[in-house]
Structure 1
Amino acid sequence: MTVALITGANKGIGFETARQLTEAGYDVYLGARDVERGEKAAAELGARFVQLDVTDDSSVTAALATIEEAEGRLDVLVNNAGVLVAEPLDGPTALQVFDINAVGIIRVTEAALPLLRRSENPRVVNVSSSMGSFWANTTPGRVEQGMFLPLYAASKSAATMLTVQYAKAYDTIRFNAVEPGPTATDMTAGYGIDDIARPPAESAKIVVRLATLDLEVPTGTLQDKDGELAW
């Protein structure tokens, strides 16, 4: 079976990604910081639970060690864990947001690389955002142009650049970033997108598409439901 790990997967897009990959026959490890919520979500889906806090090196190391012991490899990594914080715009908040949205990708990816290298078709999907795209933020008519979310946008720009850099460094692993689209989740509530937000299950489809690609596909891209995005 294809082995997948999804971070921040006890709810929202991560949960629906776990559901769809499980239904596709993948052996899914559902990573979540909260043990009770994570175990409940994994039980609902028939997935496996691993406690994983992307801001905690020990937690990340332990989660990947669990997968290594059980599976010996990892085929798919979905770096989904993220946070949307608009204010206060200060140093401590910035450190918190970047620690989860960008540094967390580094922690988990670096821990997962030895297992990904053992896969015949390793794929990494980083859930990013077009809010981190210079093109999207400066194009008239785009919803991003009218939104002021500096910490979220900057951290997601970092997530996309990390995707590009990892793709350059590891040409045998498919690294891609995804813009899942405006989604109705706990994280986005109150940010003025209710009228255009779609269900998490719809947004998860693009994540799943990139997670199930073969080796003969692009790497180092940012994509949404319609294909590759400028950024």
Structure 2
Amino acid sequence: MRFGKIDYLNLLPFDIFIKGYPTPSSFKQCLNHRKSYPAKLNHDFFFRRIDAGFISSLAGYDSWRKKQVTSCAIIGNKKVLSVLVLLQEKEGLDAQSATSNALCQVLGLKGQVLIGDKALRFYHQPQPKSDFVDLATLWHQKTGLPFVFGRFCYQAHGKFYTKMAKAFYQRPIKIPHYILEQRAKQSGLNRGQILYYLKHILYRVRPKEEFSLHCFYRQVRLKRVPRPRRF
């Protein structure tokens, strides 16, 4: 079993969960070697170097259409803090996230797309700073829906991954103090900022989230935003 994981703070609760979840030793070994940013995992998924993972929503379209998805995802609840567009900066996309770039185009924004720890550091930096838009906030303002940034998709071992996903979002996760301190040092944020960020991230896909994905895919087709492909 080959599982790929996004090495971002939004999956810190999953990191804690998976350490205690019963999996084959080969799964844990692969997990430690297949940590990367979203666009790289998309590529690995397309070429079947991994058979499951939290895949960018845009790249996960075919899995969604084939129903090879779990009811688990990375969801921005009204705001996300880690996916921003800096409006006064030179226009530019972020090479690490296809979905964030597509959402920026769907929402008709122009500016510099910023994701992950870089976006969180910018969000928490003291004034003055450039005008910016939180993409999950703007999506919610326009649709009344949360935005799904990544979906737990699979290409094999569907029963195993579906059971894992359900166990993850049903189990309350407490992050140990020492791990928070480690991630704070790595990210350049403090413990309070990390916990505040995680309060805005949901993981269970309910009807609202599913409908939000449907709306996003429809807008991607209408605006002819290119989706990541194998070739």
Give the TM-score band, short-chain normalised.
Answer: 0.3 to 0.5
User: If the length of structure 1 is used for normalisation, what is the TM-score?
Assistant: 0.36
Greater relative contact order, per chain length (Cα 8 Å cut-off, separation 6+):
2
